[in-house]
């Protein structure tokens, strides 16, 4: 019968459109990740009484293991409802004036939440932890337009240092440089974690200005260099100098977008 002949032809022809790839086993391209072309800053807005926050720390750590912790700079910003010191054992104060200011500026009210290179997605700077992976992987392969080099020296309770900026490409907008001090291996309780939870890359404070140093010019030609010196930054009483690092990043003052970031341990 004609109909069966036609249907048979259709079934054969439909093979043309059935191309489909079912991914089995691992969903990751293990071992073949190309080296990132630039660095990315991931601000993990978190709190010690936030139950879902440890899962975000794991995601951040996984991403650092994937791309290297020198390429993906993670900073834990303790701010908002779940970061405020409460009753024991969650009575330690992780909050900072700078962290509170960023938290308000970015409009973050639920935790955990991330801000990646301070890039807006739609109307928001913040981005859900499950979307950190795709966002980070995209930004890590953008073109590198400048390099940031940090020198930091610790002396008793004082940190001195400098941030050098090498312009690989010219810059034609006003940029600023934020310098932070972060601390690793702080053992303090974390809800849904442990009483002896290890808090890493915790933001301790901004050097001099919350919103950073303004670069002296708004135009720099490719190949030029500028630097910012800082001195006499006094660390907190319970901070451990050997666990401290300095994170510095250059960002566009108008869009707030991070152009380049780096991190260096404080030399003792």
Partner 1 sequence: MKKYILKSIGVFAILFAFTQMANAQSPQKYGQVSGSFQLDAQLYQEDSELGITAEDINGQDMRMNAFGNIIYRLGNFSAGVRYEAYLPPLAGFDTRLEGQGFVNRWARYSTGIIDVTVGNFYEQFGSGMIFRAYEEWSLGYDNSVDGARVILTPMKGMTIKGIYGTQRFFWQKYEKNNRGIVRGGDLDLFMNDIFSGLESSKTKLTLGAGLISKYQADLDPIYKLPENVMSWSGRFNLSHGGFFWQTEYAHKINDPNAINDYIYKDGQGLFSSMSYSQKGLGFALSAKWIDNMGFKSDRAVTGDALFINFLPPNAKTHSYSLSAMYPYATQVNGEAAIQATINYRVPKKSKLGGKYGMGIELNFSHIRAIDKTPLNDSTSIGQSGTLGYETKFLSIGDDVYFQDLGIEIDKKINKHFKLIVSADMIKYNMAIIEGHLGEPDVDAFVWVTDLSYRFKRKHSLRWELSQLLTKQDQGNWIASTLEYNFAPTWFFAISDQYNYVNKDGVIKYTNENGEVHETEFEKLHYPTIAAGYTKGTTRVLLSYGRQREGILCVGGVCRAVPKSNGFKITITSSF
Give the residues lining the site for partner 1 (CB under 8 A).
2-3, 6, 10, 13-14, 16-23, 26-29, 32-34, 52, 55, 66, 81, 109-110, 122, 128, 130-131, 133-134, 137-138, 141
Q: How far is the CB of 173 from partner 1 (least distance, A)?
A: 17
Q: Is 257 helix (H, G, I), strand (E, B) or coil?
A: coil
Burial pattern 174-211, b for ≥16 Cβ within 10 A else e, equals: ebbbbbbbbbbebebbbbebeeebebbbbbbbbbeebe
Q: How far is the CB of 16 from partner 1 (least distance, A)?
A: 7
Residue among 227, 256, 262, 260 at smallest CA distance from 125: 256
Q: Is the dihedral of CA 60, 62, 65, 67 positive or negative?
A: negative
Asked if residues 63 and 130 have their Cβ atoms less than 8 Å apart, the reply is no
> Which is nearer to partner 1, 130 or 231 (by Cβ)?
130
Alpha carbon distance, N-terminus to C-terminus of the chain: 89
Residue 245: strand pairing partners: 182, 265
> Which is nearer to partner 1, 137 or 243 (by Cβ)?
137
Question: Do strands 72-78 and 113-116 pair parallel, antiparallel, or not at all (unpaired)?
Answer: unpaired
Q: How far is the CB of 4 from partner 1 (least distance, A)?
A: 11
For the chain, the residue count is 268
> Which is nearer to partner 1, 47 or 212 (by Cβ)?
47
Residue among 41, 46, 38, 90 at smallest CA distance from 200: 46
> Which is nearer to partner 1, 100 or 151 (by Cβ)?
100
> Which is nearer to partner 1, 15 or 88 (by Cβ)?
15
> Which is nearer to partner 1, 44 or 183 (by Cβ)?
44
> Which is nearer to partner 1, 141 or 221 (by Cβ)?
141
Asked if residues 164 and 227 have their Cβ atoms less than 8 Å apart, the reply is yes
Question: Do strands 40-46 and 72-78 pair parallel, antiparallel, or not at all (unpaired)?
Answer: parallel
Q: How far is the CB of 97 from partner 1 (least distance, A)?
A: 22
Asked if residues 217 and 242 have their Cβ atoms less than 8 Å apart, the reply is no
Q: How far is the CB of 14 from partner 1 (least distance, A)?
A: 6
Q: How far is the CB of 73 from partner 1 (least distance, A)?
A: 18
Q: How far is the CB of 6 from partner 1 (least distance, A)?
A: 5
DSSP 210: T
Q: How far is the CB of 176 from partner 1 (least distance, A)?
A: 21
Residue labelled with tokens 């440089």: 177
> Which is nearer to partner 1, 129 or 263 (by Cβ)?
129
């Amino acid at each position: 019968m004609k109909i069966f002949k036609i249907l048979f032809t259709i079934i054969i022809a439909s093979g043309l459109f059935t191309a489909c790839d079912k991914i089995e086993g691992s969903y990751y391209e293990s071992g073949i990740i190309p080296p990132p072309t630039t660095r990315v800053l991931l601000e993990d807005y978190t709190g010690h009484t936030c139950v879902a926050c440890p899962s975000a720390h794991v995601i951040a750590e996984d991403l650092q293991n994937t791309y290297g912790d020198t390429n993906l700079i993670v900073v834990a910003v303790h701010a908002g409802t779940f970061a405020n010191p409460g009753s024991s054992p969650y009575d330690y104060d992780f909050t900072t004036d700078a962290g509170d200011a960023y938290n308000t500026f970015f409009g973050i009210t639920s935790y955990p939440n991330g801000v990646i290179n301070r890039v807006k997605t739609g109307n928001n700077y913040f981005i859900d932890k499950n979307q950190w992976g795709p966002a980070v992987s995209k930004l890590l392969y953008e073109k590198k337009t400048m390099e940031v080099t940090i020198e930091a020296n610790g002396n008793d309770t004082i940190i001195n240092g400098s941030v050098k900026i090498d312009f690989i490409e010219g810059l034609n907008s006003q940029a600023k440089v934020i310098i932070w001090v972060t601390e690793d291996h702080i053992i303090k309780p974390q809800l849904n974690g442990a009483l002896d939870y290890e808090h890493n890359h915790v933001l301790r404070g901004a050097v001099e200005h919350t919103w950073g140093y303004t670069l002296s010019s708004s135009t720099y030609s490719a190949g030029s260099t500028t630097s910012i010196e800082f001195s006499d930054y006094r660390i907190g009483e319970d901070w451990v100098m050997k666990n401290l690092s300095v994170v510095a990043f250059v960002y566009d003052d108008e869009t707030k977008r991070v152009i380049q970031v780096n991190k260096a341990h404080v030399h003792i």
